[in-house]
Amino acid sequence: MTHSIDRLSCCFRRRENTGDSETTPLLRAPPQDPEIPLPAALHHVFPNNGPLSPSHKKVMDRYAGNKIRTTKYTFLSFLPKNLFQQLYRLANIYFVFLVAINWFPQMEVFHREITMLPLVIVTVASSLKDALEDFRRYKFDRIVNYRAASVYDWKQQDFVLKCWKDVRVGDFVKVVCNEVIPADILLLNTSDPNGVCHMETANLDGETNLKQRQVVRGFAASNCSFQPEHFGGTVVCEKPNKNLTHFKGYLAMPEKKKIGFGRESLLLRGCTMRNTDSAAGIVVYAGHETKAMLNNKGPRYKRSKLERKMNTDVLFCVGILFIMCLIGALGQYFWLGTFPSTPPFVPPDSSNVYIPPSLSGFYMFFTMIILLQVLIPISLYVSIELIKVGQIFFITNDVDLYDEETDSRVQCRALNITEDLGQIQYVFSDKTGTLTENKMVFRRCSIMGTEYCHKENALRLAALDEAESDEEDPAFPQKKVPSRLQFLKGKSAAALRRCNSARARIGVRGQAEVTLSPHSDVAFSSPLETDVAPDWRLQRITGDEAGQMEAWGRVSRIGGGACYMDFFLALAVCNTVVVSTAMHPRQRVTGPLNSSTLKSLGHIQTLLKRLGSLSHVIASLHSIPEKSGPTSPASPASPAGPPASVPAGDEVDRGGVTDSGSLNTSLEDSEADLPSSDDVPTETSANPNSDGLCYEAESPDEAALVHAARAYGYTLLGRTPDHVTVRLPQGSLLTFEVLGTLAFNSVRKRMSVVVRHPMTNEVIIYTKGADSAIMERLAKSAENQPEENKRKRIAAKTQRHLHLYAKDGLRTLCIAKKVMSLQAYTDWLAVRQEAESAIDNREELLMETASHLETNLTLLGATGIEDRLQEDVPATIASLRKAGIQVWVLTGDKQETAVNIAYSCRLLDQSDVVFTLSTASLDECNSFLDCTLEEVKRYGVQPPWQSSPRGLRGPTFGLVLEGHTLGLLFEAGLQLRLLELSRHCRSVLCCRVTPLQKSAVVKLVRDKLKVMTLSIGDGANDVSMIQAADVGVGISGQEGMQAVMASDFAISHFKHLKKLLLVHGHWCYSRLAGTVIYFFYKNVAYVNLLFWYQFFCGFSGTAMIDYWLLIFFNLLFTSVPPIVFGILDRDISAGTLLSLPELYKSGQNSEGYRHTTFWVALLDAFYQSLVCFFVPYLAYQGSDIDVYSFGTPMNTASLFTILLHLAIEIRTWTVVHWVVMVGSVLLYFIIALSYSALCINCNHPSNPYWIMENQMADPVFYLVCILTTVLALLPRYTFRVLQGTLALSPLVRARQLDMLSPQVRDSLIREWRNQESTSEAVPDQVLSSPTKPGSPTEPTVDRGLTLHKDGNEDTGNPFSPGHRRSISTMTI
Amino acid sequence: MMASSYSAKEEDGHHSGAPGPGGVNAKSRKPDNTAFKQQRLPAWQPILTAGTVLPAFFIIGLLFIPIGIGLYVTSNNIKEYEIDYTGVDMSSPCFNCSQNYSWNSTKPCTCSVAFSLDQPFESNVFMYYGLSNYYQNHRRYVKSRDDSQLNGNLNSLKDPSKECEPYRTNDGLPIAPCGAIANSLFNDTLELYYNDPNGTKIPIRLVKTGIAWWTDKHVKFRNPVGDGSNLSAVFQGTTKPVNWQKYVYQLDTDPDNNGFINEDLIVWMRTAALPTFRKLYRIIEKQGDATPTLPRGNYTLLITYNYPVRSFEGRKRMILSTISWMGGKNPFLGIAYITVGSVCFFLGVVLLIIHHKYGSRSNNADIAS
């Protein structure tokens, strides 16, 4: 019987559009209409449940299989393809060019084979790297391809296990609970009687809440039993595309019927099936054509800013090379012209023909390119890659960036932009999950005007936080439990007494860490955060109330005590939370109980009129509820009283054990797999978790509220579409009949649940929502004055508490209720159903009807939920700010929440003037921009990130932007003005922005302001923004992988950004900048030796240094020290960098590597090469020295000069530096000596035999080397000394700080910071009060400039400042 | 929430380095807290300020100036006499020879140049010939040789390296020694006579061995087949370089200085680094303690003028020089050392002043200002 009703209602419900159940903007569906024509190009899927006809087969064969291949090469194609790709690189083309011209004998400088050496080395090295990477991808692909999926095989007439790769389009696939969906599947059947299933899209968008999917409605309605073998339809849908939010198509059934379906029936590959035993469907897209894979493009190749600059400088080098070669060519030409006839030392070419001077000059040009090839620092590219590998090694090994909880280090996914971390000017951050933990915690509540601050809860959370950070020893997890308890004991004995549940939690948590399994059954499985330690005052009251409950009916009706029960019942009932046990995942149904029959517009309009009159009826009915409530036997005497808590007298006798027993039986009827009813009554509220209930909520707030109610004994036990079961503190069960649910809606900002009280039979509406949405809907009129006054007092008190909560950065919700008669409800329901069935203006109509119901509410109380900020977020943001980084928050959240969080994480400050732009009209936008720009300019403030003169700061501005306004601005081309405004603002907050808008904002700032941007986020909605920014950071750990996959760096907490940027970014930048400059210098300095020699060898291209030594010089003798420098050099210690974020500005201003730096380095290189050449030249002038002996002291002196030059630049000498430096010199001598001792006849024409030995036996050699080195380094050394003495840049000052003892350093740092902060803070205080148009006591918003689409949003409280964590920022 | 995300991470396997399922036995990925990995290695962090580098400047200055003075004095003590005998001027005794002579001349032209030494040369005197504007370092010239042939390799003897082109073969016969360097061997003969005040010309004994590097003579250069007692037979089947008057086995009568190990050839083959160079020609050994090697007085240099330099406007010189531990005369090093030393010293003084004036800024107490 019940079953058949269920079936009916399920069929009934299938017609419902459930698109509203998702909160992710990315996956939010526009209202679906299956009748909208499909795109011309269609995707036909024929079911694979029998032999396909040839024409069908032809169509189906075109579709991709489910096998994925993300590798670039195959085994065979690797070599040709890889070589080809390498040749695309400019550096390799250069090498090939050199090899080619060296092949001509006229230009040959070195042996042909030797010129090929660098090419071969570079090519082989990068081939190996590519091969390894590709192999890794191959292995991953393999794992994925060989996962098992249950696929229908028409030969065996059953589902069989197949590998993922063998799944084809058209296959029927069955997915069971907790399985990953192998392909994009059109849902045709689920085990759920309502035809829904749930999937977790964490892999796609990082959201762990569940998305509901629905069996193709028409299909299920027409054919309730699903058998693959009898499926005769054809699926027609869109061609594969990467739009996750859009999917449309129809089922062409054999009986020429078309059944439309939309996105709500599509299961996406990569998502995980949850809470549904099994679901089956037909594969529509497979493999690379799935939406997930189409969205899963590899990260774009990024080039760091420094590298871009470097490349332009490489072009300068090319220019220099060109000039030098030209000089060589002309020199050769003119030199040959100076001789009256052919001299004996200019041999003819091999065919005994003398080359004419012009041709000889032409050849010489290319010869010089070969000779001076090192000028183009190809070795730099290789070295940079090595350096970055080293830098990444150190970043990933930073123990400070390690997250114990998830056992994850920071991941560097982009290997070539580490130094960009040191140059960030703008940070764009997501809010939820990035700044906050996305874990809602019930913190405080206010009931009937009394505030319960839940001190114990706060204490517990604090204690847990500390205990968490205390855990150092993951090897002995069991030991942690007692130690933590001891810790708690020490913390507060009172807290412990009240913390029974908390203790249980801790124990569970300790084990949970050990037994984390990859396949946990529940989405919301973090008991720690959701658990609440009850406020003891409140608990006593509720306990009293529960005692009164036992004597049900004898309680005085007027007493306010029962409000508490109502309050908690509201918390437990008014939600869409799905209950499941750890063992048995359970289905959940949301959505109102209505059918959707389509009605004409005219009909609706008449209905609307009726509705208008009805509202009056409802209002009047409510004022005299006694008369109009025929089905409620005992209505409350006054609306202000607690109606639901007053049961009829005869029901009292049936209460207690017998009552709950009967309730349980009825419960079992409707729900087959509820936790066994036997143990339900025996449980006590002290141990609420042993029943293993898990709450899965669409929004974490709801879960938090339900958990809070449970802490006070009001345990939500089960929820079906029709019933909600709540266990009361005494253990009895109450099952409410759910009459309707008005789902949450961002415009209404509230949700309501209409239930029928099981005992009083009253229809009760529980509403919860934003204070702005509830407060004005409270019942206005009351019969007697005292009641009225009392209510006003309560409302005022609650409002005050709400302000308090908001100030604390808590998310506030008001809880209200309303009792109405069944008749009134039925009347309303009729109207509602009309609205439901409307086609046009359906949304508005639904809203209208909803607000009709949600009037005349009785305020029960308010809750404060903390969307807990992640650890150290305010401190991190403050540090980033100090470092000159602009922080923007882009969030999909609603404005109030966003602003709230912005205050609590100190993005917005109390003293900030906040402009809010939220309007739908372009004119308003325009005038707003005009006004604010004028306003801002009146203060004449410079953009805050520019260093303004000390002590002359006006007020700081904040800008809050609404998403659709942003879209409007972009459409109207007002971006630049917006940008101009934003540059004057200290912080910008964009709320309700779509992923696309996020990336548009990032691109706008990046391209128009020409700044370095960083995006940080954790969900799929941040992916586009992460990819748009110069540096994308994904938050890993808690959420899905999508953001991480798109990111360049993945960290586990927002706070890690601080060290990542301020320390590692700074280091990487300063290291790499130093290294790049050094490489340019080194190459020029060395190669110029050869160039100067051309003036003395008739521009003939002779190298006076043996070319093996030439090659080794770059390859061995001087390569390792700069690489070590690039990896290990540390200009300032991490501690100093963290405590003085201002030092980061040097990287932002690119102080380490500018064009001037480059040219100075080049000038220095020219000078040094001149010294290195001409000192030996003058010393050996006119002597009998031979070519290669002449080159030896030059080479040696150059080596010393170049290495000691680096030594001047090195700021930290560790053992490694010493070893490498000394090793390089030793290596040079060892190789040079052994080479010239062994190479008697080799290496034509230099014949180095015994040259080195001879030179080293000559004292002049040493004298020349010493003199050369000293003279060459003298200018730079002196310059650095003067820099360190006279021009004390912040970096030098910080370095000097580093030298001091820790104590002195700390005090000096404090002093330094105080100076800066006073120079900033004092004028702030002076200026803030007179410039404020509002009252000085409320330093909030310039309201004249706050624009809203609808006026009622201006609640004020979100703009109140939050100073909760102010202490932590100052003392580091 | 946490646990559920683990299964999520396996999706499609395209993420690298994501932590694996955190089972009990899973190894923690926590980085080692070592000084190296955390970049906390003990380090020396020098800061270059006037105060810290002052000593370095003074030390360099104080070291370099004495060294420079010593070098300068040593260089000044070296006696050197140079005479240009190219014969560019009409008045020059070798003018005729220089005008007429070319590589193809068969009749030797001789001329003699008289000169006088104002000071006696006490120790061993080294006799050089010097060439100017002679680019022995020209790339293709430097390459134009076959070291293997010069090392006595028989195969190379018969089949010289391609590098020797176009001086590889002549009339079908391989050239020994091949290449442009050998081809342009300096072939002037210089003889020195002391004009005794009593009118007689006393020839001065010029030692022609020991002028090349020992390693060149004994290792790098070798005649083909053993000691070369019968060199003409060994070089059978080869021909002389185009410009040479005689075969390589006719360079000297002394078998230890003939063929490829002729020291004049070896010296020539060590190509000079700069276009103006000298090469050691002969050594005048000190006879005894009593008399100077070259006493004060008049000398005659008798030149067999074979080597043409007009084609490149070169100059030929004869140089007599004593040497010291630092080689030949060159005042540059001494002056340079003195200069650099002075500059360093001067900078040291400047820095001292700076240190006194501004050094307080780098004092610890004031850093934060």
Taking residues A1193-1211, report their average pLDDT: 94
Whether B336 contacts A1175, CB under 8 Å: yes
Do B66 and B140 sit in the same domain of this protein?
no
With CA atoms as reference, report the closest residue to A458 among A105, A997, A868. A868
Enter the tokens of residue A972. Answer: 């109207």
Q: Which of A220-234, A479-493, A924-938 has the highest mean pLDDT?
A: A924-938
Q: Do B355 and A1285 touch (CB under 8 A)?
A: yes
In this structure, the number of other CB atoms found within 10 A of the CB of residue A1155 comes to: 12
Q: Does B58 touch chain A (CB under 8 A)?
A: no
Asked if the model's pLDDT at residue A39 lies above 50, the reply is no
Residues B265 and B277 in one domain: yes
Q: Read out DSSP for B201-256? A: EEEPP-B-SS-S-HHIIIII---SSTT-TTHHHHTTT-B--TT-SS-GGGS-SSGG
The pLDDT value recorded for residue A682 is 33
pLDDT of residue A1317: 59
The band of A465, judged by pLDDT with boundaries at 50, 70 and 90, is low
Identify whether B21 is part of a domain.
no
Contact A1247 B147 (CB under 8 A): yes
Q: Report yes or no: A939 at the B interface, CB cutoff 8 Å.
A: no
Q: Are residues A880 and A428 in contact, defined by beta-carbon separation less than 8 angstroms? A: no
Same domain, B317 and B351: no
Q: Are strands A985-991 and A957-962 parallel, antiparallel or unpaired?
A: parallel
Residue B245 lies inside a defined structural domain of this protein:
yes
| Range among A181-185, A763-767, A1168-1172 rated most confident | A1168-1172
Q: Which of A397-401, A1134-1138, A1225-1229, B31-35 has the highest mean pLDDT?
A: A1225-1229
What are the phi and psi torsion angles at B192 (to 5°)? Answer: -120, 135
**pLDDT of A456 above 90:** no
Give the Cα separation of A1209 and A1199 in Å (integer): 15
3 state DSSP class of A14 = coil
pLDDT digits (tens, 9 = 90+) for A275-286: 778 888 888 888
Q: Which two tokens stand for residue A1199?
A: 């080596």
Say if residue B237 is in the same domain as residue B184: yes
The two structure tokens encoding residue A1195: 């080479």
pLDDT recorded at residue A1288: 78
Task: Give the Cα separation of A187 and A175 in Å (integer).
Answer: 10
Mutate to test the interface with B, among A1023, A1213, A1254, A1285 (most CBs of B within 10 A): A1285
pLDDT of residue A559: 41
Q: Cβ of B213 and A1250 within 8 Å?
A: yes
Average pLDDT of chain A is 74
Are B343 and B309 members of one domain?
Answer: no
Residue of B33, B40, B45 best to disrupt the A interface, most CBs of A under 10 A = B45
Nearest C-alpha neighbor of A272 from the set A182, A166, A170, A165: A182
- Minimal CA separation from B199 to chain A, in Å: 35
Establish if B364 touches chain A: CB-CB under 8 angstroms: yes
Laid out side by side, the sheet with A249-252 consists of A42-45, A234-238, A249-252, A258-261
Same domain, B126 and B144: yes
Tell me whether residues B275 and A1097 touch, CB distance under 8 A: yes
Which tops the pLDDT comparison, B162 or A893? B162
State what percent of residues in chain A have pLDDT above 90: 17
Whether residue B239 is found in the same domain as residue B308: yes
Residues of A660-698 as b/e, b for ≥16 C-beta within 10 angstroms?
Answer: beebbeebeebbeebbebeebbeeebeebeebebbbbbb
pLDDT of residue B182: 93
A660 or B343: whose pLDDT is higher?
A: B343
Kindly report the backbone phi and psi dihedral angles of residue A1362, in degrees, each rounded to the nearest multiple of 5, phi listed first: -125, 120
* Mean pLDDT value of segment A322-339: 93
In tens, the pLDDT along B346-357 reads 999 999 998 888
- A1110-1145 b/e (C-beta count within 10 Å ≥ 16 → b): bbbbbbebbbbbbbbbbbbbbbbbbbbbbbbbbbbb
The single-letter code of the amino acid at A240 is P
Query: Does residue B235 sit in the same domain as residue B345?
Result: no
| Residue pair A928/A917 in contact by the 8 Å Cβ criterion | yes
* pLDDT of A1315 strictly over 80: no
* A128-174 per-position pLDDT tens digit: 888 888 888 888 888 888 888 888 888 888 888 888 888 888 888 88
- Domain count for chain B, please give it: 2
Whole-angstrom Cα distance, residue B17 to residue A544?
Answer: 55
Mean pLDDT: which of A190-204, A565-579, A1151-1165 is highest?
A1151-1165
Determine the pLDDT at residue A976.
Answer: 86
**What is the pLDDT at residue A720?**
76
Q: For residue A349, list chain B residues with Cβ-Cβ distance below 8 A.
A: 165-166
Written as one string, the DSSP assignment of A563-586 is HHHHHHHHHHHSS-PEEEESSS--
Domain assignment present for residue B188? The answer is yes
Task: Find, among B37, B53, B46, B51, the residue nearest to A1131 by Cα.
Answer: B46
Q: Does A1212 reach chain B within 8 Å, measured CB to CB?
A: yes
According to the model, what pLDDT value does residue A594 have?
36
Residue B164 lies in a domain: yes
Q: Is residue B256 part of a domain?
A: yes
Q: Tell me if chain B has a CB within 8 Å of the CB of A352.
A: yes
B contact residues 214-233, partner A, Cβ 8 Å cutoff: 215-216, 219-220
Residues of B with Cβ-Cβ distance to A1175 under 8 angstroms: 336
Q: How confident is the model at residue A566 (pLDDT cuts 50, 70, 90)?
A: confident
A1311/B215 CB distance under 8 A: no
CB–CB contacts below 8 A, A to B: 398
Residues B204, B250 share a domain: yes
Residue B199, in any domain of the structure: yes
Q: Which chain B positions have a beta carbon within 8 Å of A1187's beta carbon?
A: 136-137, 142, 271-273
What distance in Å separates the CA atoms of residue A3 and residue A1123, rounded to the nearest whole number?
74
Among B residues 61-120, those touching chain A with beta carbons less than 8 Å apart: 64, 67, 71, 103
pLDDT value for A462: 63
Residue B132 sits in the same domain as residue B190: yes
Contacting residues of A for B330, CB less than 8 Å apart: 1179-1183
Over residues A296-315, the mean pLDDT reads 77
Nearest CA in chain B to A140: B13
> What is the Cα A207 distance to its own chain's centre?
11
Highest mean pLDDT among A89-98, A322-331, A427-436, B109-118: A322-331
pLDDT number for residue A1214:
92
Give the mean pLDDT of B273-298.
90
Q: Residues near A480 by Cβ (< 8 Å), separated by ≥ 6?
A: A467, A471, A473, A510
Express as a percent the part of chain B with pLDDT over 70.
Answer: 88
Cβ within 8 Å, pair A1308-B18: no
| Residues A527-549: tens digit of each pLDDT | 444 566 777 777 777 766 655 55
Q: Is the pLDDT of residue B218 over 60?
A: yes
Of B18, B134, B274, Cβ closest to residue A345: B134
Among A292-301, A430-439, A507-516, A1165-1174, where is mean pLDDT lowest?
A: A507-516
The CA distance from A98 to A372, in Å, is: 11
Query: Could you tell me if residue B98 is inside a domain?
Result: yes
Higher confidence at residue A1077 or residue A649?
A1077
Write down the pLDDT at residue B213: 92
The bridge status of strand A913-917 relative to strand A957-962 is parallel
Selecting from B42, B138, B167 the residue whose C-beta is nearest the C-beta of A346 gives B138
* B5 inside domain: no
Under 8 Å between Cβ of A1241 and B152: no
User: Which active-site residues of A does the annotation give?
Assistant: 430
Of B147, B333, B355, the CB nearest to A1263: B333
Pick from A137, A339, A411: which is nearest to B312 by CB? A339
**How many CB atoms are closer than 10 A to CB A1343?**
13
Contact state of B43 with A1181 under an 8 Å Cβ cutoff: no
DSSP state of B85: -
- If asked whether residues B201 and B92 sit together in one domain, one would say yes
Give the minimum alpha-carbon distance from A405 to chain B in angstroms, rounded to a whole number: 9
d(CA A494, CA A513): 28
Check CB contact under 8 Å for A1285 and B354: yes
Q: What is the domain range of residue B241?
A: 80-322
What is the distance in angstroms between the Cα of A298 and the nearest Cα belonging to chain B? 9
Say if residue B253 is in the same domain as residue B143: yes
Q: Are strands A426-429 and A1013-1017 parallel, antiparallel or unpaired?
A: parallel
Residue of B nearest to A523 (CA): B1
Which residues are CB-contacts of B352 (< 8 A; sequence separation ≥ 6)?
Answer: B50, B54
pTM: 0.76
Q: Which residues of B touch A1306 (CB under 8 A)?
A: none
DSSP helix, strand, coil percent of chain B (3-state; round to 5): 35, 20, 45
In the sheet with B80-84, reading across from the earlier edge strand, the strands are B80-84, B315-321, B125-132, B277-284
Q: How far apart are alpha carbons A595 and B151 in whole angstroms?
A: 106
Instruction: Note the pLDDT tens digit of each residue in A702-718.
Output: 888 888 888 888 888 88
Give the pLDDT confidence score for residue A296 in this predicted structure: 63
Residue B362 has pLDDT above 50, yes or no: no
Please answer yes or no on whether B43 and A1241 come within 8 Å at the CB atom.
no
CA distance A1039 to chain B (A): 6
Ordered alpha helix ranges (H), A989-1065: 995-1009, 1023-1028, 1042-1046, 1056-1058
What span, in angstroms and rounded, lies between the C-alpha atoms of A579 and A716? 8
* Alpha-helical segments (H) within A574-655: 601-623, 625-628, 649-654
Q: pLDDT per residue over A53-98, tens digit each? A: 788 888 888 888 888 887 778 888 888 888 887 777 777 788 888 8
Neighbouring C-beta atoms of residue B357, cutoff 10 Å: 12
Which pLDDT score is estimated for A256? 75
- Per CB-CB distance under 8 Å, the chain A contacts of B66 are none
Tell whether the model's pLDDT for residue A403 goes beyond 90: no
Res A38: pLDDT: 41
Rounded Cα gap, residues A263 and A24, in angstroms:
14
Query: Is pLDDT at A1163 greater than 90 in this prediction?
Result: yes
